[in-house]
Amino acid sequence: MKLKRLFTFLSGIFCALLLMCCNDHLGSSPDPAVLRIYLVTNPADTTIQIGFDSLTVTTKDDFSLTISQMKVYSQEGIYAKLFSSFSGYKDEETEYNLLERQSGSFIPQKIVESHIPPNQYQRIEFVVYPPDEVTIHGLTFPIDIPEGYKPLITMECPFIADENEEHNIYIQFNAFKSIKRWRDTYIFTPSFELINK
């Protein structure tokens, strides 16, 4: 009976030591970083020529882009999916009016607010589609997608994300450089660039 108790006691100690060793080797997962991405309309690109008229943006105008499939890639090609809010869990198409203004200034549109694993990242990708029509200075006109249009936007944007750090990336949208006159219509040729805020 004493031998059985001794064996049980030693087995318990052995299991406890084994668990402690396993925990030491596994370690804990690193805390995530936070990534936010904003689309900012170029404040200098506010006029478009429609026929003989030169139209300037007003407060009631609308140029809505549909954004989806946002990702950030590491140097090794490993990617993390990005969402518009911390509570996001699936890819959704979201519309953003890039001509929305407040006190005369364009409102930066936050398209990403996500946790990402600590890593060295190289580029961001997202898919963008234009609206069927755009309203400028009260005038609404249709927008066409050109033949062979590729909706995937890829931007080189190297940065290092450490644990618990927050990163903000600002992408400038050149609204009226993105619209080209073609015969009797206007086609969408998106113009984006990274900027520092």
CA dist 29 and 10 (Å) reads 32
Per-residue confidence (pLDDT) for residue 24, from 0 to 100: 47
Residues 6+ apart with CB under 8 A from 74: 119, 120, 121, 122
CA dist 171 and 174 (Å) reads 10
Indicate the pTM of the whole model.
0.81
Per-residue confidence (pLDDT) for residue 38, from 0 to 100: 98
User: Could you tell me the CA-to-CA distances from 176 to 17, 42, 48 in Å, in that order?
Assistant: 67, 9, 6
CA dist 69 and 180 (Å) reads 26
Which residue in this structure is represented by tokens 């080189």? Answer: 156
> How do the pLDDT tens digits run along the chain, 197 residues long?
555 565 565 565 665 555 565 554 455 788 999 999 999 999 998 888 777 778 788 888 999 999 999 999 999 999 999 999 998 888 889 999 999 999 889 999 999 999 999 999 999 999 999 999 999 888 888 999 998 999 999 999 999 999 999 999 999 999 999 998 887 788 999 999 999 76
Tokens representing 6 are 């001794």
